[in-house]
């Protein structure tokens, strides 16, 4: 199995330096990961360092809280694409979902999807803050808004991915969107259990050690 092709090689911490981003890109090329995932301010740097490789540039929008205004998120997405991002992982407005302003949540996802066109949009629902019912609703809204993926977590909440939540999300999207697990996936066993559960992408900063473990 080419586990490397499931991996979005990720660094999103506030303290990430230019040198860290360059190292991330070098590792992604060496291990042939699907993409690197970086904050939007580093998209052009990542793009430059991945030139000539197959590794895509993924970025995050409205990260990690999701509570920014819709126009700000749309602008961030458009700007990132202009600078070379090929995939966008956006955080939903969690407070609006919990306030049951479901149309607003859907309209925001739709606006970002329209802003990036045919590029891949992954919708981070931040499962750790949601009830089981809200996880289902958020997943259904993402599908309605034409998102390509529903994603578990930012990795900055009080918990990350779980197989139980992936099962809920899988059932909710009913084959109409793909699944990305992220948050706390640190070893090969965990990665394989998520792939077995049906995820098509894994966001992790432990990609190198996971592949090394596989090649043991």
DSSP for 130-176?
S-HHHHHHHHHHHHHTT-SEEE---S-SS----HHHHHHHHHHHTTS
* The predicted structure's pLDDT at residue 1: 78
127: its two tokens = 């499962």
C-alpha dihedral sign at 63, 9, 183, 3: positive
Q: Which residues are catalytic?
A: 89, 151, 180
Q: Which domains does the chain have, with CATH numbers?
A: 3-215 (3.20.20.70)
User: What digits encode the pLDDT tens for the residues 114-130?
Assistant: 999 999 999 999 999 99
Task: Tell me the per-residue pLDDT of 2-29, one tens digit each, with 9 for 90 and over.
Answer: 999 999 999 999 999 999 999 999 999 9
Whether the full predicted model's pTM is greater than 0.95, yes or no, is yes
Q: How does pLDDT run across 127-180, given as a tens digit for each residue?
A: 999 999 999 999 999 999 999 999 999 999 999 999 999 999 999 999 999 999
Percent with pLDDT over 70 in the chain = 100
Average pLDDT over residues 97-101: 98
Q: Tell me how far apart the alpha carbons of residues 171 and 188 are, in angstroms, rounded to a whole number.
A: 25
């Amino acid at each position: 199995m080419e586990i490397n092709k499931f991996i979005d090689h990720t660094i999103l911490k506030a303290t990430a330096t230019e040198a860290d981003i360059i190292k991330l890109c070098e590792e992604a090329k060496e291990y042939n990961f699907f993409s690197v995932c970086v904050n939007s301010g580093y998209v052009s740097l990542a793009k430059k360092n991945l030139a000539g490789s197959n590794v895509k540039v993924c970025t995050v929008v409205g990260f990690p809280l999701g509570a920014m205004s819709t126009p700000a998120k749309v602008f961030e997405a458009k700007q990132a694409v202009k600078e070379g991002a090929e995939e966008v992982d956006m955080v939903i407005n969690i407070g609006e979902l919990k306030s049951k302003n479901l149309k607003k949540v859907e309209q925001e996802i739709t606006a970002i999807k329209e802003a990036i066109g045919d590029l891949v949009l992954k919708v981070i629902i931040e499962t750790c803050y949601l009830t089981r019912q809200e996880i289902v609703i958020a997943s259904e809204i993402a599908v309605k808004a034409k998102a390509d993926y529903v994603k578990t977590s930012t990795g900055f909440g009080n918990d990350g991915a779980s197989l139980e939540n992936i099962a809920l999300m899988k059932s909710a999207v009913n084959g109409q969107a793909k699944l990305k697990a992220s948050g706390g996936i640190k070893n090969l066993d965990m990665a394989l259990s998520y792939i077995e559960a049906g995820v098509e992408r894994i966001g992790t900063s432990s990609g190198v050690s996971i592949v090394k473990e596989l090649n043991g």
